[in-house]
Structure 1
Amino acid sequence: MAVRLAILGAGRIGQVHARAIAASDSAKLVAVHDPVAAAADAIQTAYGCEIRTVEACAEADDIEAILICTPTDLHAEQIELFARAGKAVFCEKPVDLSVNRVRACLDVVEAEGATLMIGFNRRFDKDFRALKSAIAEGRIGDVEMVTITSRDPGPPPIDYIRRSGGIFRDMTIHDFDMARWLLDEEIESVFAQGSVLVDPAIAEAGDLDSVNVLLKTGSGRQCVISNSRRAAYGYDQRIEVLGSRGMASAENVHETRVETATSDGYVRSPLQNFFMERYEAAYADEISAFVHVVETGTAPPVSGNDGLMALVLAEAANLSVAESRAVAIDEVLE
């Protein structure tokens, strides 16, 4: 029997998840909620679900699980509501912009014995999963260094920048999660530097647009993260892992695999435009994983603690930039 789901938030990511549910034989979209009527209407029309209030979704017997795709400032409150209602919860990152608020939310989830999975979709990308498998199988020996490059084709609107929580909480947070996942060891210190090189308006909004971060674990393993809000050549998503016996890397995904060679040189097709295209399959696999969790009662592959620790690293990076020093994670966790 298909797992019965509801979606809160019918914006861009809510639409992505609705498509994934519709394509699954194991899931059924029962309801959608969005304060923007046109957005909710679009999903209702496309997938034949009902439009309901948040409270009605929490009280409904025909809904087993909820996907929270609302603005960040609503996440923690909605997680708590549905945890108390006995629903399994999938929530897009981050749970909140405050470490203490996330901790309080996770306390409620634990007290209720609820299921919570956080939406770090890059863990479900087939290339990154193959990279993780190469590490787990020992093909490159012991991991020593990870290099993550993540650059957007262009910056988001300034209004988005102002409410995003800053580049570390909004953009780098994905890479913090990938670093923890690939290193398979907690980070102990963070050193970050940042500038505004893309758009002066981003500085006026109190944010950065070009950052580099060095993470270090207790055993000395390192991860370097390079982020920019602009890459003129397209959406740049690469990871390299150096091990004691070799190296494994995941390269960019192009629109096609065709490469032409002439007297003028080699030409490849452009990179896939942005995250909606680049990670389309990963989003679908992520929802499949959540549905499996609901069906089987197994532990989520991305936990609430994973969401917390990625935010902790973001906070440490902010402090590092502000004080121009390496920051121990324990300083943020105190």
Structure 2
Amino acid sequence: MRIGILGLGRIGAFHAETLAGLDAVESLVVADPFADAARAAAERFGARIADSPQSLLAAGVDGLVVAAATDAHPALIRAGVEAGVPVFCEKPVARTMAEGLEVLDTVRGGGVPVQIGFNRRFDAGFSAARAAVRGGELGKLHSVRCTTLDPAPPPAAYIAASGGIFRDCAVHDFDVVRWVTGREVTEVYAAGGNRGAGHIREAGDADTTGAVLTLDDGTLAMVSNSRHNGRGYDVRMELLGFEDSLAVGLEDKLPLRSAEPGAVFPSGVPHDFFMDRFAAAYRAELAAFTEVVAGARPSPCTVEDALEAGWIAEACTLSLREHRPVTVEEVRAG
């Protein structure tokens, strides 16, 4: 099959490399406003260059990967759906929930599959955790702990356009809490602070946050995030049940050191970047998209899924700002 890629920045170029290595992908068509980025991808992967999204879609692509800036996501998703081309789009669906709902209306009426890029759904550890929970191995859950800690903050320009730490970073945790547990979040209470980079504070954002999520069966999920984790990139999940407990990310490259005398775990070189931690998951995610394109499976992460995680992020953002519990229904109605 022929896959088109719109946007050849850091993640777009990474996706191009991954797609070029998949057996199902015969060729690539690429487009980027920066000609040098498109030219580099074309030279490296033998891709054809299109001078616009419209010409890329007219080039006979079977599937479309959207890795452009967030502001462009709604229009590019619509363009793919209207052309009858299955779309993979990096999160978020749109900058605002209102725009996201408009995209959802288009997708629902278009009959064309759209997959949103929440790569943790394709990580082996998170997949095993989901199977354990759904299979009853842990018994009834009472607590979930989920964390994403970046080794260093993004630059000021990225922070200013990110929508805030809950919408940009914690949203991955929110999605995977829903996906692994099979439950919905009903209420949140969030707190945050600034102990590091001044440009995050100046943007009105927090660099370190914690949120307690109440799930619809009464389970509590604690989500912690930070832009500053000196030892490396740390993504983990702990699931505590009445029969057993399970951890994702508890492996030798975990960026923690033990204070216990004689302890040698973890002993590996810590993860230092999300592309390192989730390289296999990104490959599995795009391999799944080729199956969606082929009609062999439905979208494994729909626009609806992405918006549900977005509503949780909206509730946490409001909770942090107003220092109070917020229900998801409040922001959904608001």
TM-score by length of 2: 0.94
Which residue of the partner structure matches residue 218 of structure 2?
220
Structure 2 distance, partners of 1:198, 1:181, is 32
Where 2:228 maps in the other structure, the secondary structure is coil
> What is residue 309 of structure 2 aligned with on the other side?
310
Q: Which residue does 2:171 correspond to in 1?
A: 173
Cα contact 1:193–1:320 (8 A) shared by 2: yes
Post-superposition offset of 1:22: 1.4
User: Is 1:122 aligned with 2:120?
Assistant: yes
How much does 1:89 deviate?
A: 0.3
Distance 1:265 1:145 in 2: 27
Structure 1 residue 297: Cα displacement: 4.7
In 2, Cα distance between equivalents of 1:253 and 1:266: 12
Aligned to 1:18: 16
| CA distance in structure 1 between the aligned counterparts of 2:302 and 2:141, rounded to whole angstroms | 23
CA gap 1:253/1:156 in 2 versus in 1, 3 angstroms: farther
Q: State the 1:127 CA deviation.
A: 1.2
Which one of 50, 69, 72 corresponds to residue 71 of structure 1?
69
Identical pairs, percent: 38
Secondary structure of 1:27's match?
A: coil
Quick one: which of 81, 84, 90 aligns to 1:83?
A: 81
- Two-structure CA RMSD over aligned residues (Å): 1.7
Q: How many residues align?
A: 326
- Mapped contact 1:144–1:243 kept (Cα < 8 A): yes
Q: Which residue of 2 aligns with 1:139?
A: 137
- 8 Å contact 1:190–1:326 — kept in the other structure? yes
Q: Which residue number in structure 2 is paired with residue 154 of structure 1? A: 152
1:265 to 1:286, Cα distance in 2 relative to 1, 3 A: closer
Q: Aligned pair 1:237/2:231, yes or no?
A: no
Alignment-derived partner of residue 6 in structure 1: 4
8 Å CA contact retained: 1:252, 1:271: no
Task: Look up the match of 1:282.
Answer: 281
CA distance in 2 between partners of 1:110 and 1:265 (Å) = 53
Question: 1:177 offset after TM fit, Å?
Answer: 0.4
Q: Does structure 2 retain, via aligned residues, the 8 Å contact 1:154–1:232?
A: yes
Asked whether the 8 Å contact 2:3–2:62 carries over to 1, the reply is yes
Q: Give the deviation of 1:135 after TM superposition.
A: 1.2
Aligned to 1:56: 55
Cα offsets for 1:45-103 (capped at 9, x unmatched): 1111111021112223x201100000000001110111101000000000112111100
Cα distance in 1 between the residues matched to 2:213 and 2:157? 30
Map of 1:179-198 to 2, 5 A cutoff?
A: 179-198=177-196
Given that 2:134 and 2:181 are in contact with CA atoms closer than 8 Å, whether structure 1 keeps it comes out as no
**2:282 corresponds to which letter in structure 1?**
Y
Q: Report the AA paired with residue 55 of structure 1.
A: Q
Residue 139 of structure 1: SS of its match in structure 2? coil
Secondary structure of residue in 1 paired with 2:103: helix
- CA distance, structure 2, for counterparts of residue 308 and residue 264 of structure 1: 46
CA distance in 2, matches of 1:8, 1:290: 15
Amino acid at match of 2:175: D
TM-score, L = length of structure 1: 0.94
Amino acid at match of 2:331: V
Q: Matched residue of 1:231: which SS?
A: coil
SS at match of 2:26: strand
- Deviation, 1:224, is 0.5
Which deviates more, 154-163 or 293-302?
Answer: 293-302
In the TM superposition, what is the alpha-carbon distance from 1:255 to its structure 2 partner? 5.1
Provide the rounded CA distance (Å) in 2 between the counterparts of 1:283 and 1:252.
20
1:269 corresponds in structure 2 to: 268
The answer to whether the 8 Å contact 1:118/1:303 transfers is yes
List per-residue Cα deviations over 1:205-250 (Å, max 9, x = no partner): 1111000011112221111101010111111111100112110111
Deviation by residue 1:132-185 (Cα, 9 ceiling, x = unmatched):
111122111122221002101111111111111111111011111011112211
Shift of 1:253: 4.8
Contact 1:150–1:236 (CA under 8 A) maintained in structure 2: yes
For the structure 1 residues 102 and 205, does the alpha-carbon distance in structure 2 shift closer, same or farther, using more than 3 Å as the test? same
Alpha carbons 1:152, 1:229 under 8 Å: kept: yes
Cα distance in 1 between the residues matched to 2:58 and 2:140: 49
Inter-CA distance 41–254: structure 2 relative to 1 (3 Å threshold):
farther
Judged with a 3 Å threshold, the aligned counterparts in structure 2 of structure 1 residues 297 and 225 are, in CA distance, closer, same or farther, namely: same
Q: Could you tell me how far 1:254 is from its partner in structure 2?
A: 4.3
Q: CA deviation at 1:201?
A: 2.3
Distance in 1, Cα, partners of 2:78 & 2:240: 40
User: Contact 1:97–1:169 at 8 Å: present in 2 too?
Assistant: no
- Structure 2 contact 146–222 (Cα < 8 Å) conserved: yes
